[in-house]
């Protein structure tokens, strides 16, 4: 049986362009299993996975879904339901603060303003009862370098109303799984603020 990374190139993330690869590795490991990963080529969301850095491939990160947790993989997540958010998770040191922060690109041309990650995640979780909840995921290319020194994570989101192949129950299952992970991430971040 071929390795998952041979089957799905969306789960192989290059770190070649990173000047500070070890810093990028340490940063992304904070989110292992806390943020779901989306693969556009197979239209799946993985909520149970590990991040691996093959030793012979110094400049590669491989997302390995848990093969025994098929119930933690969501299928038929159409590409048209995945949206760019312009939201970035950054280390606080970039803005002279502790902990993790989030920045969003303002559409009105004003400079982005950092928001503590705990507050931003609380806002995402509060959107659960809205008609358009904020359901974040990471995809290949979302781990980036900011100002050529610091890693950051760009977030995408699932627009649940665009998941036409899923029932309402299945859409709510995707949302509740992502939100459980977010809540856990929020507690982890809060404890280290």
- Mean pLDDT, each 10-residue run in order, the chain (193 residues): 60 91 92 96 96 80 92 96 94 88 80 88 91 95 86 96 96 96 87 59
What is the torsion angle, in degrees rounded to the nearest 10, for the CA atoms of residue 128, residue 120, residue 174 and residue 160? 70
Q: Is 50 helix (H, G, I), strand (E, B) or coil?
A: strand
Q: Which domain holds residue 168?
A: 4-191
Q: How many CA atoms lie within 13 A of 4 on its CB side?
A: 18
* Residue keyed to tokens 């979302």: 142
Number of other CB atoms surrounding residue 120 within 10 Å? 23
Number of structural domains found in the chain = 1
- pLDDT for 9 equals 93
Q: Buried (b) or exposed (e) across 22-51, using 16+ Cβ within 10 A?
A: eebbebbebbebbbbbbbeeebbbbbbbeb
- pLDDT for 181 equals 94
Alpha helices in the chain (DSSP H): 4-7, 21-29, 117-126, 168-191
């Amino acid at each position: 049986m071929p390795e998952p990374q041979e089957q799905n190139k969306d789960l192989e993330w290059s770190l070649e362009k990173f000047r500070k690869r070890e810093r990028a590795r340490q940063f992304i490991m904070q989110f292992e299993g806390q943020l779901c990963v989306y693969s556009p080529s197979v239209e799946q969301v993985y909520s149970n996975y590990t991040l691996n850095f093959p030793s012979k491939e110094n400049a590669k990160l491989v997302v390995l879904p848990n093969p025994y947790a098929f119930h933690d993989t969501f299928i038929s997540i159409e590409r048209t339901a995945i949206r760019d958010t312009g939201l970035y998770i950054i280390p606080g040191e970039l803005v002279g603060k502790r902990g993790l922060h989030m920045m969003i690109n303002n559409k009105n041309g004003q400079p982005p303003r950092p928001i503590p990650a705990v507050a931003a995640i609380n806002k995402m979780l509060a959107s659960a009862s809205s008609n358009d909840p904020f359901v974040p995921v990471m995809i290949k290319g979302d781990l980036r370098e900011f100002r050529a020194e610091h890693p950051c994570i760009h977030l995408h989101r699932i627009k649940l109303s665009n998941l036409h192949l899923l029932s309402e129950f299945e859409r709510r299952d995707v949302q509740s799984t992502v939100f459980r992970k977010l809540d856990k991430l929020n507690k982890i971040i809060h404890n280290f603020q």
